[in-house]
Amino acid sequence: MRIAKTTDTGAVGDVALLSEELLTAASQFERATEAVAGELFIAFRSLPREYERRSTVRYSSAEGVLFVDLAVAEEDIAGLELSEQREILREGLSELVRRGVRSRTAGWSREEQGIIVAAFDAMLAGADGTADRA
């Protein structure tokens, strides 16, 4: 299973930096899920609350892609330490991926769902916060 990402962030917070950090173990995720068909595409967004952007997850059976769109309000991360922002992103991503793999349209078996979730959790755990010391 391949993994890819994009970002749409403003000047508040470190979401773009953290998106890179959180995917440092993407190759590990891809190896762990190589027997699972499909792709995981993550959009990281930090936008003003007035945009009313919500986090979403959907599976496109035509493309074979699980789209995870994580949106955080800039006001919610303004002034937070990098480690606090990282935890917000981890929690949001974890919840969305867990919800997404259960999509009826995806057609993944329970075993494949478990593989995806375990590999994703391991990838997130691989983001150890070394950026805090940079």
Mean pLDDT across 109-116? 97
The pairing of beta strand 65-73 with beta strand 56-60: antiparallel
pLDDT at 82 over 90: yes
CB atoms within 10 A of CB 98: 15
Q: What is the pLDDT of residue 132?
A: 42
pLDDT of residue 127: 64
- CB-based contact 3:29 (threshold 8 Å): yes
**46, β-bridge pairs:** 9, 72
Q: Which of 5-9, 25-29, 63-67, 123-127 has the highest mean pLDDT?
A: 63-67
- pLDDT at 128 (0 to 100): 58
- pTM for the whole structure: 0.89
- Say if residue 131's pLDDT is above 50: no
Lowest-confidence range among 24-28, 65-69, 93-97, 110-114? 24-28
Structure tokens at 128: 């150890």
* Listed range (20-34, 50-64, 84-98, 100-114) with the worst mean pLDDT: 20-34
Q: What is the sign of the dihedral through the CA atoms of 3, 85, 59 and 8?
A: negative
4 vs 11 pLDDT, higher one: 4
Average pLDDT over every residue of 25-39: 94
